[in-house]
Amino acid sequence: MSSPAVAALPADPFRRSPWPRVAMVALVIYVIYACAQLEVSWARVEIGLENAGRFFARLFPPNFSRWELLVKGLQESLQIAVLASTLGIVLALPIGLCAARNLMPSWATWPARFIIVSARSFHPVIVAILFVKAVGFGALAGILALTLASIGFIGKLFTEAIEEISDKEVEAIRATGASFASVLAFGVLPQVFSRFIGFATYQLDSNLRNSTMVGIVGAGGVGGTLFAAFQRFDYDYVCAILISIITLIMIGEVLATGVRAIFIGNATLSDVFRRGGAHRREMHLEDD
C-alpha cells in the first residue's frame, strides 16, 4: 500500500514546459530574418575570408623598427588607464555606497543610481568622442572618458556587493551605538573588501584595453598610432603594435593576479613568485 506522500506525487514529476522550445524556434526564425535583412550570405563570407587571408599575409613579419614611437604610445595608454582607474574608483565608492538600498534612504539611492546608469549607458569610445569635442585632442579626453566608464562599472558592482552583505553584523555594530562611519568600517567593509579588490583589478585591466581604443578618436594612447598605421597601409607596423598591446594586457593580467593573491589570499611577494615557479615546474613535469 503506497504512502500518502507517494500518492501525492504528480504523474510526471519531470514534465517539461513547451515554452523553452517555442523560444528556441522563435530565436532561430529571428536569426534567419536578421541575416536576410542585413544581407548576410555565404558568398559574402567567402569573399571576406579571401580578403582576410591577404590582409593577414601582409601583417607578417612584424616591424619593430619604430619602437620609440610604439613605446611612447604604450606608456601613454598605461598612464591613461592608471589615472582613469584611480580617479574612477575613488569617485565610484561614495556613489556606490549612496546607491545601496539596505544602508541609505531612497532620496539618496535614486540620484546615485541615476549617475551609475548614465555612466554605463554609452561605450567609452562614444564618450571619448564627446570629451574630445569638449577638451580637445589628447590624453585628458581619454582619462575623462575612462573615468566615467569606471564610475559606472565599479559603482554598480560595489552597490550590488553592499546589498548582498549579511545584515546581522551591521545590526550588531549598530546595537553598540557606533557611528555610521564605524558601521561602514567594521560591518560593511570586511564583507565586501575581497570582492572590491577583484572589481578594481578587473577595471584596471578593462581600462588598459579601452585606453588603446579611445586613441583611435584622438583621446591619446597607442590607439592613435595604430589608426595612423592603418591609414598608411603600414600593416607590418600594425602587427608590431598589436603584439605590443597583447603583451601589455598579459603583463597587466599577471600583476592583477598577484594583487588579488596579496590582498585576498594574504600572500607575500615571495609567495606569489614561489607559486608561479611551482606552477611552472608542475607544467614542466606534466610535459615530461
* Residues of the chain where predicted confidence (pLDDT) is lower than 70: 1-15, 264-288
Pairwise CA distance, residues 176 & 187, whole Å: 12
Pairwise CA distance, residues 266 & 260, whole Å: 9
Nine cell digits for residue 37: 535583412
Predicted confidence at residue 10, as pLDDT, reads 56
Question: CA–CA distance from 287 to each of 38, 275, 277, 281, 283 (Å)?
Answer: 48, 18, 15, 10, 6
Torsion of CA 236, 237, 242, 244, to 10 degrees: 120
Predicted confidence at residue 27, as pLDDT, reads 93
Predicted confidence at residue 29, as pLDDT, reads 93
Predicted confidence at residue 279, as pLDDT, reads 45
Query: Does residue 230 contact residue 157 with C-beta atoms inside 8 Å?
Result: no
Of residues 97, 90, 102, 85, the one with CA closest to residue 185: 97
Choices 1.10.3720.10, 1.10.10.10, 3.90.1150.10, 1.10.150.120: CATH for 72-287 = 1.10.3720.10
Query: Does residue 92 contact residue 158 with C-beta atoms inside 8 Å?
Result: yes
Per-residue pLDDT of 202-241, as tens digits, reads 888 888 888 888 888 888 778 888 888 888 888 888 888 8
State pTM to two decimals: 0.75
Torsion of CA 64, 68, 71, 75, to 10 degrees: -170
Q: Which residues of 60-98 are buried (b: 16+ CB within 10 A; e: fewer)?
A: eebbeeeeeebeebbebbbbbbebbbbbbbebbeebbbb
Residue owning grid cell 555594530: 173
